[in-house]
Structure 1
Amino acid sequence: MRADEREEGLVLKIPVIRAGLPQWLALAVLTLPVLLIAVDSTVLGFAVPALTEALRPSGVQLLWIVDIYSFMLAGLLVTMGTLGDRIGRRRLLLIGSAGFGAASALTAYSSSPEMLIAARAVLGCAGATLMPSTLSILRHLFHNARQRRLAIAIWSATASGGAALGPILGGFLLEHFWWGSVFLINAPVMVLILIAAPLLVPESKDPHPGKYDLPSAALSLAAILPVIYGIKMLAADGPAPMPAFSLVVGLLLGAAFIRRQKRLADPMIDVRLFTNATFSAGVVINLFSVFALVGVFFVVTQYLQLVLGLGPLEAALWLMPAMVAEALSALAGVWLVRLMPLNRAVCLGLVLAGAGIGLSTLTASHPFPGIIFVGFLLLGLGSGLAYALSNDAIIAAVNPERAGAAAAVSETAYELGAALGVAILGTVLNTGYRSGFLPGAGVSTVTASQARETLGAARVLAESLPLDQATLLMDAGRSAFLNGMFAVGLVAVTILGGTAIFSLFWFREKN
């Protein structure tokens, strides 16, 4: 018996059937939703300056515009994953694709910050129907260990490719059209899914689904939103009664959700999964690697455009090789784990990612995009490796019949990490910007107060000022932004360093 059969035999107790052409064609279709989500999540960062000028959101509104999508998606993943088990995962994929396209159009034509926030929330709800289907179907398609690891690497590489494609397409559109055009690029991917999925992806669902628990669905969403809101407000304004209250309410609702899952005969998520050390460690590593990548990406895209003065497309081109490196490192991880233990491979990825963040953010006072290029190249190599291997460990740690729950947790960690990365590192940036904004005596108090919100707001105000005052205002704004960016780097490097140490001593599964 082959080594990979012995590995799978621990779970299946039967000879492993290797995947053929139909399974690989189905994988090609399953990567399309991942591509769509990745494009949508990365393209917004380049649209921030343009939509800031058009809609004039406040600093808090801007953060909600960016992260409400991920908050809603993360909060509903478990709910939608359970729904897919009942109505069919492929059917849920098709419903979500149509809904995502319609919500993208609503987002593109938003006319106010409030409308854009609401549209992004609807987009997140639709996106939550797409993600749970992919990994759970993949786990049922690929039982052979090496084929599964390669399939997950391709799945992860597609996400990285989408992250690279999004800024390029978005940058081109922003150079030639209005900011809302970046959301309309979802339409071609949606059409491909609607055509190809019924032909190539087999339907799968739980033949004996338990009772659907609506209170659990409400609790899962109600627990996530207050926690993230509380973190955001505490980071932005310091200790205060309202954000502390929100944080406590969210944690209490989360505890109620966990208690309810333990009591139910058919829980939405089996919390016993977290007693598996490999599964739990994979979720933690997944969350924090995405936290750093997406949060720093949000900051650096603004730095390239607002501080260095690059256009959206030019800024995207500087960062595209990093996303390509992330895709390649995900594939290289399949080979690397044959040479070293899994924990060392993941630790190496996190160390590379931390070094890249340090180079990108802590040296930002040197106005040369090449430093950002090298730093993001390291970040892409490291995060791609850590993310792909942690996903494989999460899926492989459970029996195939529990793959749906494992996939929902994995994707929730990804989206929650992305949302928290933007929320926490974004508020660190805003706090550093406001505390370091010192425009000097040549700028009026009213103008300085408005420019202190965001660097994008400062640039809009500078266009209507005399040259000497505009220069003072923008110099102060750029200096304040670098102050906030340095703080972001310190926080992100510290978190990734701690995660690397955690992975080395906790993530001890053999190859």
Structure 2
Amino acid sequence: MGRIPPREPALDRPAGRLEPMPGRWAMLAVLCCSLLLVAMDATILNVALPSLIDHMEPSPMQQLWIVDLYGLVLGGLLITCGAISDRYGRKRLFIAGFVLFGLASVVAATADDPAQLIAGRALLGVGGAMVMPSTLSLIRNIFTDDHERTQAIGIWAAVAGAGAAIGPLIGGQLVERFGWSAAFWLNVPVVVLTVTAGLWLLPEYRAPQHGRLDWFSAVLSVLGVVALAWGIKHVAKGEPAALDVLILFAAFALLALFAYRQLKSPDPLLDVRLFRNRAFTAAALATLLAMLAIGSALFLISLWLQYIHGYTPSEAGLRTVPAAIATLLGSLCTPWLLRRVSVRFLMGFGLFTLAGGFLLLAAVSTTTYPLVAVILVALGIGDGVAITTAAAVLVAAVPPERAGQAGAVEETNYELGIGLGVALLGSIHGRLFVTHMTDLPLTGDQLDTARGSVGGAAYVAHDIGGPTGDRVLEIAQHAFDSALTTTSWISAGLVGAVAVLTVVLVPRGFRATASH
């Protein structure tokens, strides 16, 4: 069960070339620079959201779309982009995607209304989807030695995880000094430098394919993933409309049809037979749940720091640094650990550590920052270990010509996890917050605004001022903490269940090494 045997011809490079490639670590640096930006953009708006709300006054639903549409679009397109990179060239798609990422950053940075910002975030998702499968698949091809590849994947995972964690820190500093649009302007010079270096350094790889790209299956995958996210988002908010439930069922039907077409295709977009490999399936689940947990935690804790404790964006971002440092350490230590302990143990350890962080958050009655710092460390370590182990397993479990598909699975679960973390757990938290917002000394529009979100409550409290404003803020703080406790219990249960499942799925003695 350790590997799936190749079913396709080898990549179009000289047969038997196993010697280390010159400049491979410089190539990794280019790939990691791009990955850092794409990962940061998944969470950088967490601390910019209050400033953005003050400037644009988006509705609560627009706020959620601004935050999580990026990850949902990116996740929906990754399978298709992974297949395109295998067929038409991984470097080519990487460069084109990063150029689009830079242009989309300009669209978002210059937005003066929520609609343009949402459109910019969607375009950023398209560009990110073109970039991310290429990063992991190129690592699979550039690094021919198992140990070096595992180290490279550890660095890749450290950048991916730390990027999501330092997004609030960088965003906070930029927003406080230059306004919310600076979070997007940051991307532009990095895109220019990375594209220039990528054109010069990166090699091109493509796998020989015998059939045309199945565009109908591509549409099915995109619609299925986006519909799934939409349905989960709205059902999780409580009292969903009939259309929301219908969309959720349509998502299952679309994804089932997609899987059926892939099983029948001689040249699938995603070889779903890969999921017959138990370790591959466990790694995919681990990535999804690890990012769902860390995505929702960073989102809710960023709101907690700003709205409940009144920190500025930069102060709030600084207080998320423990998660970034812990993720970095967990990711960088994992390649060393993989040579000494089993994949089964490491994957279980990472996920159970994540679950433990949520259990700690759920078990306390009063949330203080020192406790949150400990929780962030637990979440960061668990995330770093789980993501790095999962990436090594996914790359090891596929033949080289399917490297783009392995990258797409890893990145789909990575980005979809962050998006669903905000959509699912963020929506559950929002629903619980509303139920706890009782006995407010308000009427009319002010009551509706205050009950709609913690940001709305803070705005109303500031607008009213005096004892009434203090009372509104006190109720909102209690409601937010109560909702966070319940959401944490749910998160711990989800991650814990998947931790048990992954330990069961990974065969005893499985090692994350790949054949060539």
TM-score by length of 1: 0.94
Paired positions, count: 502
CA distance in structure 1 between the aligned counterparts of 2:3 and 2:155, rounded to whole angstroms:
20
CA shift in 2, pair 1:230/1:83, >3 Å = same
What residue in structure 2 maps to residue 406 of structure 1? 406
Answer with 234-243 or 74-83: which moved more: 234-243
Partners of 1:105 and 1:184 within 8 A in 2: yes
Say whether 1:260 aligns with 2:264: no
Q: Is the 8 A contact 1:95 1:129 kept in 2?
A: yes
Paired residues of 1:210 and 1:266 also in contact (CA < 8 A)? yes
**Is the Cα contact below 8 Å between 1:295 and 1:421 reproduced in 2?**
yes
Counterpart of 1:228?
229
- Within a 5 Å distance, the mapping from 1:348-387 to structure 2 comes to 348-360=349-361, 362-363=363-364, 365-366=366-367, 368-387=368-387
Q: Deviations over 1:81-103 (max 9, x none)?
A: 22222332111111111110110
Is 1:415 the equivalent of 2:415?
yes
Alpha-carbon contact 1:360-1:376 (below 8 Å) kept = no
Q: CA deviation at 1:344?
A: 1.0
- Asked whether the equivalents of residues 361 and 485 of structure 2 are also in contact (C-alpha less than 8 Å), the reply is no
Q: CA deviation at 1:57?
A: 2.1
Partner of 1:178: 179
Matched residue SS, 2:198 = helix
Q: Distance in 2 between matches of 1:33 and 1:175?
A: 25
* Higher alpha-carbon deviation: 318-327 or 51-60: 51-60
1:57 aligns with 2:61: no
Contact between 1:216 and 1:260, CA under 8 Å: does it hold in 2? yes
Tell me, yes or no, if the aligned pair for 2:18 and 2:145 is still in contact at 8 Å: yes
2:443 matches 1:444: yes
Q: Displacement, 1:261?
A: 1.5
Note the alpha carbon deviations across 1:389-448, whole angstroms, 9 max, x for none. Answer: 0110011011112111111111111111111111001101101110000243x3224311
Alpha-carbon deviation of 1:374? Answer: 0.9
**2:102 equivalent to 1:101:** yes
Distance in 1 between the 2:46 and 2:19 partners? 41
Distance 1:8 1:28 in 2: 28
In 1, distance between residues paired with 2:238 and 2:266?
43
Matches within 5 A, 1:249-288: 249-288=250-289
| Residues 10 and 402 (structure 1), Cα distance of their counterparts in 2 relative to 1, 3 Å cut | closer
Q: SS in structure 2 opposite 1:83?
A: helix
Q: Is residue 340 of structure 1 aligned with residue 341 of structure 2?
A: yes
Shift in Å at residue 478 of structure 1?
1.1
Partner of 2:84: 83
Aligned mates of 1:315, 1:18 — CA distance in 2: 47
Paired position in structure 1 for 2:128? 127
Tell me the equivalent position of 1:392: 392
Equivalent position of 2:505 in the other structure: 506
Whether the 8 Å CA contact 2:140–2:403 is kept in 1: the answer is yes
Q: Indicate the percent of aligned positions where both proteins have the same amino acid.
A: 35
2 CA distance for matches of 1:184 and 1:161? 20
Is the deviation greater in 112-121 or in 291-300? Answer: 112-121
Where in structure 1 do 4 or more consecutive aligned residues deviate above 4 Å? 7-12
Does the C-alpha gap of structure 1 residues 28 and 273 become closer, same or farther in structure 2, counting only changes over 3 Å?
Answer: same
Amino acid at match of 2:468: Q
Q: TM-score scaled to structure 2, two decimals?
A: 0.93
Would the alpha carbon gap of residues 285 and 161 (structure 1) be closer, same or farther in structure 2, given more than 3 Å must change?
A: closer
| 1:362 Cα offset (Å) | 4.5
Whether the 8 Å CA contact 2:361–2:375 is kept in 1: the answer is: yes
Partner of 2:475: 476
* Maintained 8 Å contact 2:74/2:128: yes
Question: Take 2:240 and 2:187, find their aligned partners in 1: how far apart are those partners?
Answer: 40
Q: How far apart, in 2, do the equivalents of 1:126 and 1:239 lie?
A: 32
Aligned: 1:27 with 2:22: no
* Residue type of the alignment partner of 2:477: R
Q: Is the 8 A contact 1:329 1:381 kept in 2?
A: yes
CA distance, structure 1, for counterparts of residue 151 and residue 17 of structure 2? 16
Whether 2:116 is the aligned partner of 1:115: answer yes
Shift of 1:34: 0.9
SS in 2 for 1:238: coil
Q: Is the 8 A contact 2:161 2:384 kept in 1?
A: yes
Give how far 1:365 is off: 2.4
1 CA distance for matches of 2:57 and 2:316?
22
Counterpart-to-counterpart distance in 1, 2:318 and 2:396: 36
The aligned residue for residue 463 of structure 2 is 464
Matched, 1:201 2:205: no
The CA distance in 2 between the partners of 1:227 and 1:347, in whole Å, is 27
Using a 3 Å threshold, how does the CA distance of structure 1 residues 215 and 373 change in structure 2: closer, same or farther?
same
Which string of whole-angstrom CA distances, capped at 9 and with x for unpartnered residues, describes residues 292-347 of structure 1? 01111110110011001111111111111221111111111112223322111111
- What are the residue-to-residue correspondences of 1:290-369 with 2, within 5 Å? 290-360=291-361, 362-363=363-364, 365-366=366-367, 368-369=368-369
| CA displacement, residues 435-476 of structure 1 (integer Å, 9 cap, x when unaligned) | 000243x32243112211111111222222141221121111
1:238-268, Cα deviation, whole Å (9 max, x unpaired): 3542211111111111111111222222221
Moved more, 256-265 or 277-286: 256-265
| Structure 2 gap segments, 5+ residues each | 512-516
- 1:374 to 1:444, Cα distance in 2 relative to 1, 3 A: same
SS of alignment partner, residue 452 of structure 1: helix
Instruction: Give deviations 1:208-232, integer Å, cap 9, x for gaps.
Output: 4521221111111111112111111
| Counterpart residue identity of residue 409, structure 1 | V
Deviation at 1:54, TM superposition (A): 1.9
Q: Is the 8 A contact 1:56 1:457 kept in 2?
A: no
> What is the letter of the counterpart of residue 134 of structure 2?
S
Counterpart AA for 2:150: R
CA distance in 1, matches of 2:185, 2:396: 36
Take 2:60 and 2:413, find their aligned partners in 1: how far apart are those partners? Answer: 26
Is the 1:16–1:144 Cα contact (8 Å) retained in structure 2? Answer: no
- 234-243 vs 221-230, which deviates more? 234-243
User: 2:87 is aligned with what amino acid?
Assistant: R
Residues 503 and 401 (structure 1), Cα distance of their counterparts in 2 relative to 1, 3 Å cut: same
Q: C-alpha separation between the residues in 2 aligned to 1:350 and 1:16?
A: 37
State which drifts further: 354-363 or 54-63. Answer: 354-363
Distance (Å, rounded) in 2 between the aligned partners of 1:8 and 1:231: 33
Are 1:147 and 2:151 matched, yes or no?
A: no
Deviation at 1:199, TM superposition (A): 1.4
Cα deviation for residue 18 of structure 1 reads: 4.8
Per the TM alignment, residue 146 of structure 1 is displaced from its structure 2 partner at its CA by 1.3
Separation in 2, partners of 1:433, 1:31:
38
> 1:59 offset after TM fit, Å?
2.1
8 A Cα contact 2:4 2:397, kept in partner: no
Conserved? CA contact 1:216–1:268, under 8 Å: yes
Q: Which amino acid aligns with 1:392?
A: A
Report the Cα distance in structure 1 between the residues aligned to 2:463 and 2:325, rounded to whole angstroms. Answer: 40
Stretch moving more, 406-415 or 112-121: 112-121
